[in-house]
A and B are shown apart, each in its own frame.
Chain A
Amino acid sequence: MNTINVVEDEIVVVGLGEVTASRDANRTLTCLGLGSCVGLAMYDPVARVAGMAHIVLSNSRGKSGPGSSKYADLAVPMLIGQMQDLGALTSRIKAKIAGGAEMSPARGLGDMFKIGQENVAAVKSILAGVGASLTGSETGGSRGRTFRLNVGTGAATVSSAGQDIKEL
């Protein structure tokens, strides 16, 4: 008789503006219902260290202090720092991003819904600046997304309402 051990993954929700790093193989990090926000998943496959950021805004414009991890320019280095503390090396980190949608064509709402595009552009340029390679992305469009990163395997998936789960 075969015994199958099913270990339930512990889901860790990375809330609005938060960053979280982990090397607990039973964990799955997740950003729920990303609209204009960008989820950043980073993984060092050698150290098996994972990290996720739920980025809300592109540029801190000099603001700092509690809650500043909501800004792309501060979240990326913060997350890399946390991952390094757990043994990751920036040169080995592979990054994937999801989100940054323009949820509504929003006639008459000006550029308000363009914030997603700004977030994506900011994250991409910051990743390039720190030398982390971007190996997958699922951004733009007008769909909300849930982004998951399995710490044990580094597998990243994206799901949207009414659509199949897609591996990034």
Chain B
Amino acid sequence: MVDQHVILDEQLEACGDLVGEGSVNAISGLSQMLGQEVQVHSLQPRRVPVGDLAALVGGRESLSVGVYLAVSGSGTGHMFLMFSPETAMELIDMLMGQPPGTTQQLDEMEESAMGELGNVMGSFFLNALADAAGLQLTPSPPAVMMDMAGSILDVALANILEDSKDALVVETKFGTLDRVIDGTLLVMPSPELLGLLLEHLRTE
């Protein structure tokens, strides 16, 4: 088991590259679902105090649509796909082949569409990471929430805070070329999972 406190910044960076492959694959999953090109605007591994994580997605009070997936298997972790409500509704219209502006709220069907999107992106992400590092990683069913960002993130933050005051997070900002769709993918591997990735990088 690797203690998070001995994971150095350069090691985090190295793992970040590997995790980044997962992000790029997840974004290509989104491209396929939407039938149009989605670009990675920025991809950054960071160490962030848990209390500051919500600032990455507009602050604790900012109204957001989030899809949460828990990671299990060889290692554990948390994944969040975060959008503004306007963007999420735009996305749902695209996914369901409706004219823009059709979706005005998130009911069961819309939540299901967002959940499916999270499921595809989460699976694409974990498959890439698992293949690259020879691990077995599975996403949980997606939990779709529309609320203040802080309240969406809380459960995962509480889980991380049980062991550490900092979170190791890979932040990916992405969007379509016309910027109609902009979103953030946050992946928080547990220190144990990062340890497995480091192990893989050492033996490669």
Which A positions have Cβ atoms within 8 angstroms of B? 15-18, 32-37, 56-57, 66-67, 70, 101, 103-109, 112-113, 115-116, 143-146, 160-161
The interface size bin for chain B is: 20 to 34
Question: Do A112 and B151 form a contact, CB below 8 Å, given A104-B143, A107-B141?
Answer: no
Q: A33-B54, A56-B158, A57-B161 are in contact. List 17 more A-B contacts (CB 8 A).
A: A17-B161, A32-B60, A32-B148, A33-B150, A35-B153, A35-B155, A56-B157, A103-B143, A103-B147, A104-B68, A107-B141, A108-B140, A115-B155, A144-B152, A161-B63, A161-B146, A161-B147
Q: Once the chains bind, are A108 and B141 in contact (CB under 8 Å)?
A: yes
Closest to A67 in B: B165
Instruction: Indicate if B19 sits at the interface (CB-CB under 8 A).
Output: no
Q: Once the chains bind, are B148 and A33 in contact (CB under 8 Å)?
A: yes
Q: Once the chains bind, are B161 and A16 in contact (CB under 8 Å)?
A: yes
Q: Kindly state the separation between the CA atoms of A15 and B165 in the bound complex, as whole angstroms.
A: 13
Residues of A within 8 A of B141 (CB): 106-109
Q: Kindly state the separation between the CA atoms of A57 and B151 in the bound complex, as whole angstroms.
A: 14
Q: Once the chains bind, are A103 and B70 in contact (CB under 8 Å)?
A: no
Q: How far is the CB of B70 from chain A (nearest CB, A)?
A: 6
Q: Kindly state the separation between the CA atoms of A87 and B28 in the bound complex, as whole angstroms.
A: 60
Q: Kindly state the separation between the CA atoms of A112 and B61 in the bound complex, as whole angstroms.
A: 22
Q: Once the chains bind, are A56 and B161 in contact (CB under 8 Å)?
A: yes
Closest to B62 in A: A33
Q: Kindly state the separation between the CA atoms of A36 and B162 in the bound complex, as whole angstroms.
A: 14
Q: Once the chains bind, are A103 and B154 in contact (CB under 8 Å)?
A: yes
Q: Kindly state the separation between the CA atoms of A66 and B54 in the bound complex, as whole angstroms.
A: 21
Q: Once the chains bind, are A35 and B152 in contact (CB under 8 Å)?
A: yes
Closest to A114 in B: B155
Most buried by A among B51, B144, B150, B158: B158
Residues of B within 8 A of A115 (CB): 155, 158
Residues of B within 8 A of A112 (CB): 70, 155, 159
Q: Once the chains bind, are A33 and B151 in contact (CB under 8 Å)?
A: yes
Q: Kindly state the separation between the CA atoms of A17 and B103 in the bound complex, as whole angstroms.
A: 37
- What are the nearest 8 A-B pairs in CB distance? A144-B151, A33-B150, A35-B151, A35-B154, A33-B148, A33-B60, A104-B143, A108-B141
